[in-house]
Chain A
Amino acid sequence: MIAWRPGRGPGWALLVVVSVVMAAPVAVIVWSIADPSTEVWRELWQTRLPGMLVDTVTLVTIVVTGAVVVGTGLAWLVSAYEFRGRRLLSWLLMTPIAIPGYVLGFVWLDTLQEPLGARAVRSIWLCAAVLIVSLYPYVYVFAWSAFREQSPRTILVARTLGRSSFAAWWRVVVPMARPSIAAGAALVAMEVLTDVGTVRLFNVSTVADGVLRVWFGTGDRDAAAELAVVLVVAAMSLILVERALRGRARYTQSGVRSGSVARPVTGLRAIVVNVVGWGVLSIAVVVPVVRLARWALRAQQLGQTQTISGDLGFHVVSSLKVAGFATIACLVIGTTMVFIGRERGSWGAALGRVASLGYAVPGPVVAIGVVVALAAVDRQGWWPGDVLLVGSLAGLVYAMVVRFLAVAHQGIGASVGKVSPSAVASARTLGAGRLRVATRVELPLARAGIIAAATLVAIDSLKELPVTLLLRPFGVEPLPVWVWQATSESLWVQASVPSLMIVAIGMPLVAALLWSVERGAEVVS
């Protein structure tokens, strides 16, 4: 008789170990507040902290509001109206996700410098505008898929009850998509909290920027870690707000999704719809990519396609290595956790959340947490010779996994969870053990969701700046670091080459993401 009932065997131990390892960096940061260095705090509080808090709150508010309006509006446009090129536009509106804010930022900074003047251009408003344009896809993708999941009957019923088309959308469809929009908004807020590249370009001093300045400026790791606690608190409050917004209501709809809810538009309306859609796309993607390409050509002529560390190939390989390892690690750990965790009921779910903490914590915090945690391990001298985890590729990949494991874990969990229980039960009774059921039935059926999760992790880790900046080991220099170094000296031409490479690697990933979403992958927060 084989043991088949979920027990607390090796799987359980593995789950606990993974969760502890993943949560350690965050725990280390939170722990640092237990022994605060009051002097640093007093100094910060008297000088820069109030300003940082004001800037952070202002920026988060503007960007979240803007991204919700733009993202929901665009999703509404491509869902409610039928026009030539609607399908193409609806896909292309996702592509800004491949262009980091710090790239979009310097392109528009330079473009607007002449008309606005060098001083006026570096404002919190423009910074917010850039972040809105680069982050709206997070709201857009959630709102769009929520709209798509709603039954056209809902709108028909609303309209037969005497509502105009717009009123039907505004009063019925949008409220039903509220939880999805809230999830997207929370992601945007998180991205603003974690941003260090864009805000630096526009001289906006947020808390994340402050953490980095303390880290690099004073070298006081403890002070940086303590300042990072502010970010943790902010991120945690955000999650609570989002949970509250979601409420207890269930918004799923039963019944068949038949037909499209879109109605054709013609004439002036069609022009307006097209101008808005393609206009946003131009600002977010077309203009930046064209400018980058022209700069890159100039860089080619000037022979500026390399850094002192190495040529373009070296940097591309660095980026691919980090993003590749991080993606593989996230997939392997995420899949394992899904399959072990689900058999442990609420404890499994709780451990899953613990391991996913890193995603709810801004990049600089994770980075500092990883450094502190790894340094503590290094001091134990468990490894022979001079092997150190701090400053190793493994350390950087570890930080990426801490930061993005949640994306993989939730994505894989959602798509494996959608596999019909009847199919799984049938497979079991047909003589397949757990492993065979997983490899032959569940994973193949969850393929689209797994690919979506993988591409999201890959895109995120490709763009990730703060973690890379703080943890890059000697001999590995991913593209974002090059962009950062060039832009901090306003060398746009030099920055264009790595920026264009990030976009070039990111676009096929976005295509894969769209492909999998089309095949029913869930994008989850």
Chain B
Amino acid sequence: MTADVTADVTAAVTAAVGLVSVTRRIGARRVVSDVTLEVRDRELLALVGPSGCGKSTLLRLIAGLERPNSGTITLGGLDVTDVAPERRRVGLVFQEHALFPHMTVGRNVAFGLRRFDRRRRAERIDEMLELVRLPGTSSRYPHELSGGEQQRVALARALAPDPAAVLLDEPFANLDASLRDELRADIVAALRERGATALLVTHDRDEALALGDRVAVMRDGAIVQVDRPEVVWSAPHDEFVAGFLGPMSLLPSGDGEFEIVRPHQLELVSGGTDQVVEREFRGAVWRHTIIRADGTQLIVDAEPGRDFEVGARCTVAARPGHRLARLARS
């Protein structure tokens, strides 16, 4: 245990972004509770959790917009816990309304480039707008751009001064679903191209799983699990992580333990004591809600053709070849 903590701490302080035992209280409430976390160099870490879990506060702590009550925050190995936000060299991208409406796109991007001379500044503006696929928009004003374009500019502005890390706070939350996918891809591409270290805060599990090199799941101010997306998905640390990341069912496996199964890991066979109580069409699959004789409820996906009507009797079986995660139920 002690060794583990020491390893965590060592990792955190040498990482691009590191937090060691960071706690932030507002009144008596611990909004961020004893969080130890690292974002590795050039990594995109997705921080996901339900609204109000403290993920945005965590991001504000890293940016220096709030101060922890205890703990240490490091950037590039340097302790910045007491450093003002303007000296931290982090880039911020918000959900909305963060561009300076009274400045052109070019001046927005140049805002963090005070130490650049005129020529280099102009070059960097062009380079950044090129990066976010908005070349030639330098003299436009933010209100003349679409929501997606504004977010690209916000990213260009955040990346322009070569920050130690880019922090993105729900950057896609206010966009149409169709726009969102395209913008996501572009923004991740831009981050990769610059080799930026990034922390993406989101409440959207699909977004976290799709974009993150690693995913950190947060709940009630604490980090519950940090790992690669496929690991947190298939081997969740607990029922909360499992349920938060997607639909799942708990299968009792005797001796007080449970197996966590995703809907695609199960199949339906006709005849038996289980019954379909509800189903909905999901495009590739029908999603069935099944009640078993003992009252447990399971969610099972089945391709069209292998689906069952509501009220039909069936048996739920595990598909071969899937390893299920085991949990001791608390």
Contact B94 A429 (CB under 8 A): no
Binds A, one of B81-89, B215-223, B224-232, B276-284: B81-89
Contact B157 A430 (CB under 8 A): yes
Count how many chain B residues have C-beta atoms less than 8 Å from C-beta atoms of the other chain.
34
Binds A, one of B8-16, B98-106, B240-248, B314-322: B98-106
Known contacts A432-B86, A432-B111; decide if A423 and B64 are in contact (CB<8 Å).
Answer: no
Contact B86 A426 (CB under 8 A): no
**Set of chain A residues within 8 Å of B114, measured between Cβ atoms:** 431
**Set of chain A residues within 8 Å of B95, measured between Cβ atoms:** 422
Known contacts A430-B111, A430-B161, A444-B102; decide if A425 and B92 are in contact (CB<8 Å).
Answer: yes
For the complex, is A428 an interface residue (Cβ under 8 Å from B)? yes
**Set of chain A residues within 8 Å of B82, measured between Cβ atoms:** 1, 4
Interface residues of B in 49-72 (CB under 8 A from A): 60, 63-65, 67
> Which among B63, B96, B101, B102 is the interface contact of A429 at CB below 8 angstroms?
B63
Contact B84 A426 (CB under 8 A): no
Contact A427 B94 (CB under 8 A): no
Count how many chain A residues have C-beta atoms less than 8 Å from C-beta atoms of the other chain.
20
Scan A1-31; emit 1 where CB is below 8 A from any B CB, else 0.
Answer: 1101100000000000000000000000000
**Set of chain A residues within 8 Å of B63, measured between Cβ atoms:** 425, 428-429
Chain B residues at the A interface, C-beta cutoff of 8 Å: 60, 63-65, 67, 82-92, 94-102, 111-112, 114, 154, 157-158, 161, 163, 167
**Set of chain B residues within 8 Å of A441, measured between Cβ atoms:** 100
Known contacts A426-B92, A430-B161; decide if A1 and B86 are in contact (CB<8 Å).
Answer: no
Contact B98 A429 (CB under 8 A): no
Return the chain A residue nearest B81 by Cβ. A1
- Beyond contacts A2-B87, A426-B94, A431-B89: 9 other A-B pairs, Cβ-Cβ < 8 A, are A2-B84, A4-B84, A423-B98, A426-B99, A428-B65, A429-B85, A429-B90, A431-B114, A445-B102
**Set of chain A residues within 8 Å of B161, measured between Cβ atoms:** 430-431
> Which among A420, A423, A428 is the interface contact of B86 at CB below 8 angstroms?
A428
Chain A residues at the B interface, C-beta cutoff of 8 Å: 1-2, 4-5, 420, 422-423, 425-433, 440-441, 444-445
If over half of B's interface residues share one DSSP class (helix, strand or loop), that class is named, otherwise mixed; here it is loop
**Set of chain B residues within 8 Å of A2, measured between Cβ atoms:** 83-84, 87
The 7 closest A-B pairs by CB, nearest first: A430-B112, A4-B84, A422-B98, A422-B94, A420-B97, A428-B85, A429-B92
> Which among B67, B100, B154 is the interface contact of A427 at CB below 8 angstroms?
B100
Within the complex, the shortest CB–CB distance from B172 to chain A, in Å, comes to 15
CA distance A83 to B83 in the complex (A): 59
20 contacts between A and B (CB under 8 A): A1-B83, A422-B95, A422-B98, A423-B100, A425-B63, A425-B65, A426-B92, A426-B98, A427-B111, A429-B91, A429-B163, A429-B167, A430-B112, A430-B157, A431-B86, A431-B87, A432-B86, A432-B112, A433-B84, A445-B101
